[in-house]
């Protein structure tokens, strides 16, 4: 394996609280008699999925919310700038381990670059520009997920192919995009249970990259010629360092 691709902001940190604040600030600014408590917003996510906020707004307001989109994005970015974000458990160690394993990390998001860079700066500070070897965002010109194009761009950017990489995703569209690009894909469930089926992923992420890498290696061994025989001979301690001979 040569690369690991993180496919969404949600794979880095939980942003649901900031999303809710952005909605409420947008409501207040627009003079709307609407406010979502934490319980209400979590209920929206559980019932309607990751993009449940706009779905519920259309139903409650009886109108398209396109006119609110720019202000919502503005307030979301403001919330990011003022928040103390923390990485998902185990992610910092996993990113360091990726470098030790000579895996090139890349970030592949459907969000706008300005938003992505804000989140990376909030999480990594002065190291933000060096954490990932490539940062691919919605404004690169590629079709949005579930099309695989953003992943294709990322793989080209880091100079590898899908059979030498694996991805982490938090949404059904993201999983579809990564798998369509040919990547072994891990689902990363959110802290809030969201009404979205992530079962199309190849596996559910653990808390360590090394364990996930071993899962990819085992899958590769099972699915390539001669793999099952080799898998039985592979010392467990070498699983995290094994590179398929076909590279």
pLDDT band, residue 237 (cuts 50/70/90)? very low
Q: Are residues 30 and 132 in the same domain?
A: no
Does some domain include residue 139? Answer: yes
Structural domain boundaries enclosing 204: 3-13+87-241
Q: Of 37, 53, 82, which one is at a domain's C-terminal end?
A: 82
Same domain membership, residue 48 and residue 124: no
Is the pLDDT score of 95 beyond 70? yes
Average pLDDT (196-221) is: 81
Q: Which of 147, 144, 64, 151 is nearest to 110 (CA)?
A: 144
Q: Is residue 246 part of a domain?
A: no
Same domain, 185 and 206: yes
Per DSSP, the three-state class of 104 is: strand
From 82, 99, 114, the end of a domain falls on 82
Q: Could you tell me if 121 and 212 lie in one domain?
A: yes
222 belongs to a structural domain = yes
* Mean pLDDT confidence for 21-46: 86
pLDDT at 134 over 90: yes
pTM greater than 0.85? no
Residue 48 within any structural domain of the chain = yes
Q: What are the tokens at 124?
A: 């990594």
Task: For residue 193, tell me if it sits in a domain.
Answer: yes
- Whether 167 maps to a domain, the answer reads yes
Q: Is residue 247 part of a domain?
A: no
Q: What is the mean pLDDT of residues 101-111?
A: 93
Is residue 42 located within the same domain as residue 149?
no
User: Looking at residue 68, which CATH number applies to its domain?
Assistant: 1.10.150
Task: Determine the pLDDT at residue 126.
Answer: 92
pLDDT for res 230: 41
What pLDDT band is residue 241 in, cutting at 50, 70 and 90?
very low
Q: What per-residue string of b and e applies to 229-246 under the rule 16 or more CB within 10 Å gives b?
A: eebeeeeeeebbebeeee
Q: Are residues 9 and 27 in the same domain?
A: no
> Do residue 140 and residue 209 come from a single domain?
yes
- Choosing from 38, 53, 82, the residue where a domain stops is 82
Q: Are residues 113 and 141 in the same domain?
A: yes
Count of domains observed in the chain? 2
pLDDT for the residue numbered 227: 46
Same domain, 77 and 128: no
> Is the pLDDT at 238 greater than 50, yes or no?
no
For 37, counting Cβ atoms within 10 Å of its Cβ (0-12 exposed, 13-18 middle, 19+ buried), the class is exposed
Instruction: Tell me the mean pLDDT in the region 171-175.
Output: 90
Within a domain: residue 128?
yes
Could you tell me the pLDDT band of residue 86, with boundaries at 50, 70 and 90? very high
Instruction: Give the least confident one: 61-70, 108-117, 156-165.
Output: 61-70
Q: Is the model more confident about 4 or about 67?
A: 4
Q: Do both 146 and 181 map to the same domain?
A: yes
Q: Within this chain, do residues 122 and 43 fall inside the same structural domain, yes or no?
A: no
As to burial, measured by CB atoms within 10 angstroms (0-12 exposed, 13-18 middle, 19+ buried), residue 59 is exposed
Same domain for 118 and 222, yes or no, is yes
β-pairing verdict for 203-204 and 184-187: parallel
User: Has residue 112 got a pLDDT over 60?
Assistant: yes
Q: Give me the CATH number covering residue 105.
A: 3.40.50.1000
The Cα 228–Cα 231 span in angstroms is 5
């Amino acid at each position: 394996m040569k690369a690991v691709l993180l496919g969404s902001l949600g794979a880095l940190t939980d942003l649901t609280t900031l999303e809710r604040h952005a909605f409420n600030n947008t409501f207040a600014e627009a003079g709307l008699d609407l406010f979502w408590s934490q319980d209400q917003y979590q209920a929206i996510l559980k019932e309607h999925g990751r993009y449940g906020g706009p779905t519920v707004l259309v139903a409650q307001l009886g109108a398209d919310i396109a006119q609110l989109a720019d202000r919502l994005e503005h307030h979301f970015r403001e919330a990011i700038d003022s928040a103390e974000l923390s990485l998902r458990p185990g992610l910092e160690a996993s990113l360091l381990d990726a470098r030790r394993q000579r895996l090139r990390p890349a970030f592949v998001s459907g969000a706008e670059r300005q938003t992505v860079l804000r989140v990376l700066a909030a999480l990594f500070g002065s190291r933000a520009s060096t954490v990932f070897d490539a940062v691919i965002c919605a404004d690169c010109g590629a079709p949005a997920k579930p099309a695989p194009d953003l992943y294709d761009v990322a793989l080209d950017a880091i100079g590898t192919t899908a059979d030498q990489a694996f991805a982490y995703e938090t949404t059904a569209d993201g999983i579809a995009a990564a798998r369509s690009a040919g990547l072994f894909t891990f689902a990363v469930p959110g802290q809030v249970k969201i009404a979205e089926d992530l079962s199309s992923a190849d596996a559910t992420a653990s808390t360590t990259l090394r364990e996930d890498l071993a899962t990819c290696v085992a899958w590769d061994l099972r699915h390539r010629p001669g793999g099952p025989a080799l898998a039985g001979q592979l010392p467990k301690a070498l699983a995290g360092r094994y590179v398929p001979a076909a590279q």
